């Protein structure tokens, strides 16, 4: 890689795993530990990250796209993005041991959709039509929900009563894109109701806000994440809209020398489904090539944690394992500090105060 050392690496905090992704990964990990020798099936990618999926595949997990591919009575995990009631019914019909790793914040949107549909409201679901989360949410009330991707969809909506209309959103949208669609919906339907609380989740909001706040200090933004990760893609878009070039990389092997010409400060972040060890490998590669130091920029202090889902807790009890001892706890800051110390990489932390978070 061509560049004049040293490089300043701004490490965004928060970045990487959110509570929902961490819980979902822990669910599969726990099943592999607690049910040795049993086949574990996961419906769709457990989270949208190539490395996470490959690592589980190497440990014997089978990823399937149809419940028909799961043998009767086997264990199947529903991914963090959630599934439609139809998929749950298919699993019940085959008497599968279904473990639901849906993120509670996705479940919240499902619950809103069900509640308003039951009251006879029409729901406009802002999101990407083919994203698994949107497919799952829409499946809760397909006759009541219409998907809106952009303002261009609005003239094609079929609205029965504009006074009984609510919008909901996918959890991982760009805050700005969602705001544009919401503005257009409010113009078209002034009486449209807002969701009881924002559906764009805390992790999406925090990572986007952090990139927006820090990117002006850098000439390049590197986002660790996979192409099919909605929230990772949004991070690159936000940086670029605000004028800083951004690259989405699955891992350090994708770094290219021409990106670093004239660059002395890089902002490094990661989508909510990207493991922290991949971030470490990027830091290592940059420091090896350019020298330099890491400045962790703390924007929000995230403390959100989700416990193991009830369906897994029940299964563990059936197997004679006390689920209380299997607590999930994510300490990314400690892990990264240890990594930097071990590698002898100069680092310090600064705090950027712009608001409060969960
Ligand atoms: Fe849950 Fe948000 Fe993470 Fe998706 S990105 S798994 S909604 S916390």
Q: What is the pLDDT of residues 51-103, one digit of tens each?
A: 999 999 999 999 999 999 999 999 999 999 999 999 999 999 999 999 999 99
Residue 2 clears pLDDT 60, i.e. is over it: no
CB 156 within 8 A of CB 132: no
Task: Give the closest residue (by CA) to ligand 1 atom 1.
Answer: 20
Most ligand 1 atoms within 8 A of CB, residue of 128, 134, 201, 300 to mutate: 201
Residues 6 or more apart whose CB falls under 8 angstroms from that of 114 comprise 140, 141
Tell me how far apart the 2 most distant CA atoms of the chain are, in Å. 64
For CATH 3.40.1010.20, the residue range(s) in the chain are 7-18+202-305+330-351, 105-188
Ligand 1 pocket member 200 (CB < 6 A): no
231 lines ligand 1 (CB under 6 A): yes
38 as an active site residue: the answer is no
Tokens of 143: 């006759």
pLDDT band at 12 (very low <50, low <70, confident <90, very high): very high
| Ligand 1, atom nearest to 304 Cα | 8
**What ligand 1 atom has the least distance to the C-alpha of 201?**
2
Q: Is the pLDDT of residue 315 over 90?
A: yes
User: Tokens in use for 138?
Assistant: 């829409």
pLDDT band at 327, cuts 50/70/90?
low
Note if the bond before 236 is cis, omega within 30 degrees.
no
Residue among 112, 136, 175, 203 to mutate when testing ligand 1 (max atoms within 8 A of CB): 203
What is the predicted pLDDT for the residue at 335? 85
| Cα-Cα end-to-end distance for the chain | 39
> Given a cut of 70, is residue 178 above it in pLDDT?
yes
Residue 200 confidence class, pLDDT cut points 50, 70, 90 = very high
C-alpha 351 chain-centroid distance: 24
Shortest-distance atom of ligand 1 to CA 20: 6
155 contacts 105 by C-beta, under 8 angstroms: no
Instruction: Specify the domain boundaries for CATH 3.40.50.11270 within the chain.
Output: 21-103
E strands of the chain, at which residues?
7-13, 40-43, 62-64, 75-78, 97-100, 122-126, 145-148, 165-169, 220-224, 246-249, 265-270, 292-298, 347-351
Which ligand 1 atom is at minimum distance from the Cα of 21? Answer: 6
Q: What topology does CATH give the domain 7-18+202-305+330-351?
A: Cobalt-precorrin-4 Transmethylase; domain 1 (3.40.1010)
Domain 21-103 CATH (choose: 3.30.300.130, 3.40.50.11270, 1.10.150.120, 3.40.50.970) = 3.40.50.11270
User: Is residue 328 over pLDDT 80?
Assistant: no
- Is 70 exceeded by the pLDDT of residue 356? no
User: To the nearest whole percent, how much of the chain has pLDDT over 70?
Assistant: 96
Residues in CB range of 190: below 8 A, 6 or more apart: none
- Which of 30, 112, 133, 295 does the annotation list as catalytic? 133
Above 70 in pLDDT, residue 107?
Answer: yes
Instruction: Identify which of 3-7, 100-104, 195-199, 324-328 has the greatest average pLDDT.
Output: 100-104
330 — pLDDT class (breaks 50, 70, 90) = low
The Å distance, Cα 161 to ligand 1 centre, comes to 32
CB 268 within 8 A of CB 7: no
The verdict on the CB of residue 106 being under 6 Å from ligand 1 is yes
**Cα–Cα distance between 18 and 24 in angstroms, integer?**
10
Q: Is the CB of 20 under 6 A from ligand 1?
A: yes
Tokens 């978070």 locate to 357
Q: What is the 356 CA–ligand 1 centroid distance (Å)? A: 18
18 lines ligand 1 (CB under 6 A): yes
What average pLDDT does this structure show over 123-141? Answer: 97
Structure confidence at residue 5 (pLDDT): 65
Q: How confident is the model at residue 6 (pLDDT cuts 50, 70, 90)?
A: confident
Fold of 105-188: Cobalt-precorrin-4 Transmethylase; domain 1 (3.40.1010)
Q: Is the CB of 24 under 6 A from ligand 1?
A: no
Ligand 1 contact, 105 CB (< 6 A): yes
CA distances from 61 to 21, 53, 76, 169, 240 (A): 17, 9, 10, 31, 37
Q: Output the CA 272–ligand 1 centroid distance in Å.
A: 7
């Amino acid at each position: 890689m061509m560049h004049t050392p040293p490089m300043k690496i701004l490490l965004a905090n928060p970045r990487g795993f959110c509570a929902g992704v961490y819980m979902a990964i822990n669910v599969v990990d726990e099943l592999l530990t607690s049910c040795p020798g049993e086949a574990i099936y996961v419906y769709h990618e457990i989270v949208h990250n190539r490395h996470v999926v490959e690592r589980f595949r190497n440990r014997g997990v089978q990823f399937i796209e149809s419940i028909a591919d799961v043998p009767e009575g086997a264990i199947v995990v529903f991914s963090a993005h959630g599934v439609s009631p139809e998929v749950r019914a298919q699993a019940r019909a085959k008497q599968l041991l279904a473990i639901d790793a849906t993120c509670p914040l996705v479940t919240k949107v499902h619950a809103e959709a069900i509640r308003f549909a039951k009251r006879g409201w029409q729901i406009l679901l802002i999101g990407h039509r083919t994203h698994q989360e949107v497919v799952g949410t829409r499946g809760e009330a397909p006759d009541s929900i219409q998907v809106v991707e952009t303002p261009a969809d609005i003239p094609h909506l079929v609205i029965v009563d504009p006074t009984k209309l609510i919008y909901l959103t996918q959890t991982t949208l760009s805050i700005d894109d969602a705001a544009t669609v919401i503005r257009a919906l409010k113009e078209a339907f002034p009486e449209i109701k807002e969701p009881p609380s924002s559906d764009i989740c805390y992790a999406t909001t925090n990572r986007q806000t952090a990139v927006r706040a820090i990117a002006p200090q850098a000439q390049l933004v590197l986002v660790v994440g996979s192409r099919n990760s909605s929230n990772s893609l949004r991070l690159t878009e936000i940086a670029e809209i605000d004028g800083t070039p951004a690259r989405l990389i699955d891992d350090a092997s994708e770094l290219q020398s021409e990106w670093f010409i004239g660059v002395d400060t890089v902002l490094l972040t990661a989508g909510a489904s990207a493991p922290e060890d991949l971030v470490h490998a990027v830091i290592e590669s940059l420091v090896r090539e350019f020298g330099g130091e890491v400045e962790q920029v703390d924007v929000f202090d995230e403390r959100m944690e989700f416990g193991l889902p009830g369906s897994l807790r029940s299964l563990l009890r059936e197997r004679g394992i006390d689920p209380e001892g299997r607590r999930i706890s994510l300490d990314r800051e400690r892990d990264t500090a240890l990594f930097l110390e071990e590698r002898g990489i100069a680092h310090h932390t600064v705090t950027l105060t712009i608001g409060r978070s969960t």
